[in-house]
Amino acid sequence: MKNFVIKTLVNAVALGVAAWVVTGIHLGADETSWTGKALTAVIVALIFGVVNAVLGPIARFLSFPARVLTLGLFTFVVNAFLLQVTSWLSGAIGLSFSIANFFWDAVFGSVIITIVSWGISLVLPDRED
């Protein structure tokens, strides 16, 4: 359980950094307080984790030939698709998380999320529950 909470918080921080760096990603734009934005980030991180767990393996399997041909760079496009699905689901349940331009903002956002998550995971040990 502790590992799940840490990974969710890492994803929340990564989503927050992506929203801060990429102008087309809006996270908690309707919230006025930092606690409201943080709560929105954590809920969106939970949705992002579920989307990655359910659709991620399917998308990665179907995109395997493209990932091989592009030496893995197509992974960012797959992650951008999963981020866009997260945006769609978040909007459907009333959370203020959106991506303005589907392709480029989502791709840049997925790159930022990957880098931030990787950097934080280097600092935090990955232990089993």
Positions of the chain with pLDDT under 50: 129
For residue 123, the model assigns a pLDDT of 83
For residue 38, the model assigns a pLDDT of 86
pTM of structure:
0.85
- 86, 47 contact by CB (below 8 A): yes
59 token code pair: 């998308």
63 token code pair: 């995109």
For residue 65, the model assigns a pLDDT of 95
For residue 3, the model assigns a pLDDT of 78
Question: Which residue, 30, 36, 44, 25, is CA-closest to 93?
Answer: 44
Q: What is the end-to-end Cα distance of the chain in Å, rounded?
A: 6
CA distance 91 to 3: 27
For residue 120, the model assigns a pLDDT of 85
For residue 58, the model assigns a pLDDT of 95
- Residue 127 C-alpha from the chain's centroid: 22
